[in-house]
Amino acid sequence: MKPKSARDARVDQLYEQLLEIEQRLIPTGLHVFGRAGELKEKADLLRMVASFDRPERGVRALTKLVAEGLGFESYEEIIQPTTTSDSRELIDGIVRDVVDRFCEQGAGAAAAFLKSQANVGAEQSQPLFALLEDISTKLDSNQEVESLMRAIRGEYIQPGPGADIVQNPSALPTGRNTHAVNPYSVPSQAAFVRAKQAADALLQRYRDEHGRYPTTLAMVLWGLDNIKTQGEGVAQALWLLGVRPVRDALNRATDVEVIPLAELNRPRVDVVMTVSGIFRDLFAPTMALLDKAVRTVAQLDEPGEMNYVRRNVAARFETGGSFDDAVTRVFSNAPGNYGTNVNFMVMQSAWESEVALGDLFVTRKCFAYTRDSQGRTVEGREAPELMSDALSRVEATYQNIDSFEVGITDVDHYFEYLGGISKAVETRSQVRPSIYLSDSLSPQIKIRSLAETVRLETRTKTLNPKWYEGMLKHGFRGVAEIENHVANTFGWSATADAVDPWIYTEISNTFLFDEAMFERLRDLNRYSLEALVKRLLEAHARGYWNPAEEILEKLRLLREQLAEQFAK
């Protein structure tokens, strides 16, 4: 094949970005308790469900069935940037039509259509359509209100796993009594396999940008995520350290086995883990496992350039202190406490210097959960100095995104955690770490920088008419959601300076300087609208956005108008 010119390569790159935006599952409104979703939403969801292999149900991904039926070697090959976009569009178009037909006319019609378009026989597609039918029926039969009534009467409610529907369709039907996982089963074998791919992609991305492996990473681990993924984040940490979980006679993951360097084929990366309060409450044995992994790796007789844990522990040792202190890597809140409060500080504009945001993170999350050399459990020892020391060596920070429904601008928790820790690292190591998120739900696991993720979320949600019109159908609450997104976006400026100025400009143009839209928002919820205007002015005042003076003037005028209306 002829090598591509720089111009062609750039066009391909843009095409990839457009496709990424187009293919993203976009929530089109809030879930209404007790009500099943609409047909369009159902089709989007089913298409996403159908994009993954489900070996446990004997189902192959529809994308793969279509690709192979059309005579392509594999779908994986088609989604490589070197393949022409036509093949991919052809396959994705057929997949879309098949799922639409399934929703409108049922499995029989969809199977016949699939056969006619891509030569996929009924025997091959039957397990997939059976799965889609099962999900579709469960989505339509919403029992949430009935279950709530049963709960209020003190009656029995069927249990069901807490999970993302795309990831684990057995989360349906909703309206059941959600249960978590057995912490001893975490990480599952499947989670470990997926985790390797994500962690390797993370290391590759860092190497592409820096020409070497990161020596130390800081990871955020949440409880709900690790329930949904059976411990994918936990498994990523273990894989980075170069160990795998070992199960005892009762099949409990209580120990680790060192993966030899010859097999690992790369250095062991040091990992500082900040776990949420929910994680701490649910996964005590897992925290012990993570702590054991670090201690085991620190004591291996390996050269420092292949074992960064050992090297960092040795360096810390030289400055005094105990081995126990030098290997402490698992931190959370004080027992009984939750959250970093960084989100509250940002939302209430209750800070002067950004340094305060990182410091607050450490104040809240510096409680060490470990064991001492005598094997005694240490549960939440306040150790700000140990945490600061561990963070001072961090070169990259990272969190796994595991849900289509909740992204980094939907809630304030991503910036309070990943943003908070990144700011804490920045002020302790004197350089801003590289900040990454993985998207382990795409058919190909993707690692994105924080700035890329903010752009993607902004384009697919905040500035996307499909998203905000969906929200505005909910009236007052919808405007509050839009304002939340703007505030959460601002949170990424405050903690990580990761927001392009055009984002604030486009938010102003879309929601404030379009007169009809402004009036709509004002009529629905002037409180949130006023907060939005003030937040944009704050973004300017804090130096995250420097628009033309006339834009600022317009914003100030809108702020005054809204304040006057409040005064009336």
Q: How far is the CB of 278 from ligand BEZ (least distance, A)?
A: 3
Residue with smaller CB distance to ligand BEZ, 421 or 507 = 421
The sign one gets for the Cα dihedral 127, 129, 135, 137 is negative
Count of residues interacting with ligand BEZ (CB under 6 A)? 8
Q: Report how far apart, in Å, the C-alpha atoms of 517 and of each of 466, 468, 469, 511, 523 are.
A: 14, 11, 11, 6, 10
E-strand spans in 162-315?
A: 177-179, 216-221, 243-247, 253-258, 270-275
Residue 364 near ligand BEZ by CB under 6 A: no
Q: What phi and psi, each to the nearest 5 degrees, are found at residue 538?
A: -65, -40
Q: How far is the CB of 113 from ligand BEZ (least distance, A)?
A: 41
Residue 222 near ligand BEZ by CB under 6 A: yes
CA 85 to chain centre: 27
Residue with smaller CB distance to ligand BEZ, 233 or 470 = 233
Residue 397 near ligand BEZ by CB under 6 A: no
Q: How far is the CB of 279 from ligand BEZ (least distance, A)?
A: 5
Quote the Cα angle for 447-362-406, to 5°: 40
Q: Is residue 92 within 8 Å of residue 108, measured between CB atoms? A: no
Residue 414 near ligand BEZ by CB under 6 A: no
Q: How far is the CB of 224 from ligand BEZ (least distance, A)?
A: 3
Residue with smaller CB distance to ligand BEZ, 435 or 503 = 435
Containing 413, the helix (H) or strand (E) segment is helix 413-414
Q: How far apart are CA 240 and CA 196, in angstroms?
A: 8
From candidates 27, 173, 223, 420, binder to ligand BEZ by CB under 6 A? 223
Residue 228 near ligand BEZ by CB under 6 A: no
Q: How far apart are CA 400 and CA 402, in angstroms?
A: 6
What does the per-residue mask of binding to ligand BEZ show for 274-303, with x meaning CB under 6 A? --x-xx------------------------
The sign one gets for the Cα dihedral 320, 322, 323, 325 is negative
**Contacting range for ligand BEZ; rule: CB under 6 A; set: 194-202, 221-229, 235-243, 368-376:** 221-229
What does the per-residue mask of binding to ligand BEZ show for 105-144, with x meaning CB under 6 A? ----------------------------------------
Strand partners, 255: 246
Residue with smaller CB distance to ligand BEZ, 72 or 414 = 414
Residue 173 near ligand BEZ by CB under 6 A: no
Q: How far apart are CA 536 and CA 323, in angstroms?
A: 48
Residue 467 near ligand BEZ by CB under 6 A: no
Residue 421 near ligand BEZ by CB under 6 A: no
Residues that bind ligand BEZ (CB under 6 A): 222-225, 276, 278-279, 413
